[in-house]
């Protein structure tokens, strides 16, 4: 019988080793295929080093700080786009978040529809939304705002719904047991429990929107990104360097502010 156990152990080990070998082989093949597919050649990178250094030291640096004034307008525009975009997605997502939460949703069909809407809007990246919207409503921050609003709504519906699903059912049950109507149960039983995560997720989305706002600007949807892409297209790299630093500073500043706010409100 002990022979049987040994044999079983041995077979098990052999089987496991075979699986590990297969996984390693799989990864290696995948790496080789993708290197080939993308035309990645290490020697090119090596040969390019002088070019990279030249670009960094002569074209990009030093940043031409004298142009900083030109970024003031676009900065305000970026913040405004992010804020309006966040507002749009919050207004849109708050009711849908309730519909998409398993424990609150009026019916399984409504829940599935709300979740499908969220998945659809989330799967399309802000940049793609922006490309589409620029061709619909034209170049400018309006397209960017709607792009941020739509992709943000996709994320917020899911985050809201997940937070609502985590709340304490007992507190809702107790409000329901007083004979309260459905809307009153929502506002008095669900909303007080949900409000901290609501604030937290919405602020986080504002944070993300500042980053995305820079990206959607690249395709013409306004803000700092648009200014950046204009500078690059005109080969004014020293101006572009200032834009990049500016975006970095803005992201850090907003992140600092939202973190402070979140701490204060919850």
Partner 1 sequence: MSVQPILSVTDLKKTFPDGTRALRGVSIDVMPGEFLVMIGSSGAGKSTFLRCINHLFEPSGGRIVYNGSDISKITGAKLRRLRRELGMIFQGYNLVKRLSTVENVLLGRLGYMSSISGALGLYSKQDRERAVELLIRVGLGEQRFKRADQLSGGQQQRVGIAKAIAQNARLVLADEPIASLDPKASDTVMNYLHEVTREENITCIVNLHQVDYAKRFADRIVGLKDGEITFIGKPEEVTDEVIRDLYGEKGDQIDE
The residue (of 198 and 226) whose beta carbon lies closer to partner 1 is 198
Q: Which of 52, 187 has the CB closer to partner 1?
A: 187
* Residue (19 or 266) nearer to partner 1, CB: 266
- CA angle, residues 166, 116, 189, in degrees to nearest 5: 30
Q: Give the nearest distance from C-beta 155 to partner 1 in angstroms.
A: 25
- Measured CA to CA, the distance from residue 129 to residue 61 in angstroms comes to 33
Summarize as ranges the residues that interact with partner 1 (CB under 8 A).
Answer: 168, 170-171, 173-184, 186-189, 192-193, 195-196
Q: What angle is formed at CA 247 by the lines to CA 243 and CA 252, rounded to 5 degrees? A: 150
What's the closest the beta carbon of residue 88 comes to partner 1, in angstroms? 24
Name the residue nearer to partner 1 (CB basis): 42 or 177. 177
Q: At closest approach, how far in Å is the CB of 195 from partner 1?
A: 7
Residue number with CB closer to partner 1 (197 or 230): 197
CA 174 to CA 10: how far, in whole Å? 58
| b/e burial code for range 57-82 (CB count within 10 A of at least 16 → b) | eeeeeebeeeeeeebeebbebbbbbb
Shortest Å, Cβ 202 to partner 1 = 17
Burial (CB count <10 Å: 0-12, 13-18, 19+), residue 37 = exposed
Closest approach of partner 1 to the CB of residue 119, in Å = 29
SS (H, E, C) 39-69: CCCHHHHHHHHHHHHHHHHHHHCCCCHHHHH
Shortest Cβ distance from residue 62 to partner 1 (Å)?
53
CB atoms < 10 A from the CB of 137, how many?
A: 14
| DSSP-derived secondary structure letter, 23 | H
185 vs 203, beta carbon nearer partner 1: 185
The answer to whether 103 touches 170, Cβ cutoff 8 Å, is no
The residue among 37 and 179 lying less far from partner 1, judged by its C-beta, is 179
For residue 180, the minimal CB distance to partner 1 (Å) is 4
148 close to 81: Cβ distance less than 8 angstroms: yes
Task: Please report where in the chains the tokens 């519909």 appear, as a residue.
Answer: 99
């Amino acid at each position: 019988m002990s022979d049987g156990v040994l044999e079983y152990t041995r077979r098990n080990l052999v089987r496991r080793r075979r699986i590990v070998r297969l996984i390693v082989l799989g990864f290696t093949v995948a790496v080789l295929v993708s290197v080939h597919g993308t035309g990645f050649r290490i020697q090119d990178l090596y040969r390019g080093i002088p070019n990279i250094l030249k670009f960094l030291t002569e074209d990009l640096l030093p940043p031409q700080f004298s142009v900083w004034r030109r970024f003031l307008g676009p900065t305000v525009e970026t913040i405004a786009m992010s804020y309006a975009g966040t507002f749009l997605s919050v207004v849109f997502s708050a009711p849908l978040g309730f519909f998409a939460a398993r424990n609150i949703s009026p019916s399984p069909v409504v829940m599935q529809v709300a979740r499908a809407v969220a998945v659809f809007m989330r799967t399309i990246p802000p940049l793609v939304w922006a490309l589409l919207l620029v061709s619909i409503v034209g170049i400018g921050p309006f397209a960017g705002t709607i792009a941020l609003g739509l992709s943000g709504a996709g994320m917020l519906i899911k985050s809201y719904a997940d937070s609502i699903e985590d709340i304490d059912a007992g507190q809702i049950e107790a409000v329901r047991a007083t004979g309260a109507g459905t809307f009153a149960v929502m506002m008095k039983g669900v909303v007080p429990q949900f409000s901290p995560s609501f604030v937290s997720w919405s602020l986080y989305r504002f944070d993300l929107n500042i980053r995305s706002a820079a990206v959607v600007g690249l395709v013409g949807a306004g803000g700092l990104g648009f200014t950046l892409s204009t500078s690059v297209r005109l080969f004014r790299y020293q101006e572009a360097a200032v834009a990049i630093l500016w975006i970095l500073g803005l992201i850090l500043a907003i992140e600092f502010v939202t973190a402070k706010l979140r701490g204060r409100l919850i």
